[in-house]
Every structure is written in structure tokens, then in C-alpha cells.
Amino acid sequence: MSNPARGWLRAQLDREVDCSVHTLLGAMTERLSIAAGSAATLRRLSADGEWLSPVATHHPDPGMSAAMIAIMEETAPRARSGLWRPVVEERRAVRYRVDPGRTPAEASDEQARFLDRFPVTAVLGVPVEHDGRLLGGTALVRYSVPRPFDDADEALLVDFAARAGVVLAMLEEYTSLHTPDG
């Protein structure tokens, strides 16, 4: 195969893998949201551990999904601050109950503005790991329903995180194997 054909094929395959994996993660996040009866988000941790970039989100209202993606993009460079700090630094599940008119002390400025604008009542976040490596974080978010997350919700999210971790690890491995000249 000639080098131009090889380069073309690689570019096509890389684009297909990236699109397929992101479609899969989006579908998985949507199923989590449906199963939990709450909005769901998935973020990928950058190699330097400083960014939690949005991968997928789902809320039945497309406008809310758009607002959630916007706040995820605003808070991406702060993996070690705000509500995500204990998830990333301590690799543990966190539950927040958000009382009307009160913002959790741990919230970043961006998160506080979002919480002031939208009727969030509870947040549950867990780390996404695979083979002992932290790959990101996932969360369930309740709007308007004044019910905190419980152990069953946490077990559901932990199970999702394990499965999402396999897919994120696959994406990470694929990305690391891809070299321009390899």
C-alpha cells in the first residue's frame, strides 16, 4: 500500500474509532440517566490530571443537556477543585444535597452560578477507574426532586463507572498506540 493510501486509511480509521467510542459513551450515559431517573454526566481526566473534559451528558430536556455541557466545559480545567476535588484527589464517591438558596461550600464559582440558575437538589459523583488508573469521573444530578441520592443510587453509578472505565481505557490505549509514523 502506498504511503498516501496508508495515511488516508489511518485518518479514516482514527476518525471512525473516535466517533464510535464517543457515540457508545453517549449511549451508555443516556441509559444511566434513564435507569437512575436523573441527569447523568461523564468526564475524562487529562493525562496531567488537571482537566475533567466533558465526554457525555444526558437529560431528557435538550436545553438542560446543553446547559449541563456548558457548565462541564467551564469547569473542565478544575479537576482538583469544587465538587470534583474529593472524587479526583481521594478517589471516592461524594453525595451533595443542595438546599434551595444554599450552595455547597465546596462548589467552585462556576458551579455556584449554575446551582443558582438551575434547581439542582442533589449530586452524586464517583471516580471512573480501570486497572487502578483514574480515568475520569461520572455524576448523577437531580433537578427539582427534593430527594437525596442513596446507597442504591451509588451502587448503580459505581457499576456504570466500572463499565465506562473499560471504554475510556480502550480509547486511551488506542490513542497512545496511534502515532503519525507508526
What's the helix, strand, coil split of the chain in %, to 5?
50, 20, 25
Q: How many domains does the chain have?
A: 1
Q: How many Å apart are CA 57 and CA 26, to the nearest integer?
A: 7
How does strand 94-97 pair with strand 133-143?
Answer: unpaired
In a domain, 12, yes or no: yes
Structural domain of 152: 3-177
131-156 confidence digits (pLDDT tens): 999 999 999 999 888 899 999 999 99
Q: Is the pLDDT of residue 164 over 90?
A: yes
Grade residue 113 by pLDDT with cuts at 50, 70 and 90: confident
In a domain, 26, yes or no: yes
For every residue of 146-157, DSSP letters joined together read -----HHHHHHH
For every residue of 36-83, DSSP letters joined together read HTSEEEEEEE-TTS--EEEEEEE-SSHHHHHHHHHHHHHHTT-TTSGG
Q: Which residue has the higher pLDDT, 67 or 139?
A: 139
In a domain, 182, yes or no: no
CATH number for position 127: 3.30.450.40
Q: How many Å apart are CA 93 and CA 87, to the nearest integer?
A: 6
Q: What pTM did the predictor assign?
A: 0.86
pLDDT at 182: 45
Average pLDDT (161-175) is 92
Among candidate residues 155, 43, 142, the one with its CA nearest the CA of residue 98: 142
In a domain, 55, yes or no: yes
In a domain, 11, yes or no: yes
Three cell numbers written together for 176: 497512545
5-59 confidence digits (pLDDT tens): 988 998 899 889 989 999 999 999 999 999 999 999 999 998 888 888 899 999 9
CB 107 within 8 A of CB 82: yes
In a domain, 139, yes or no: yes
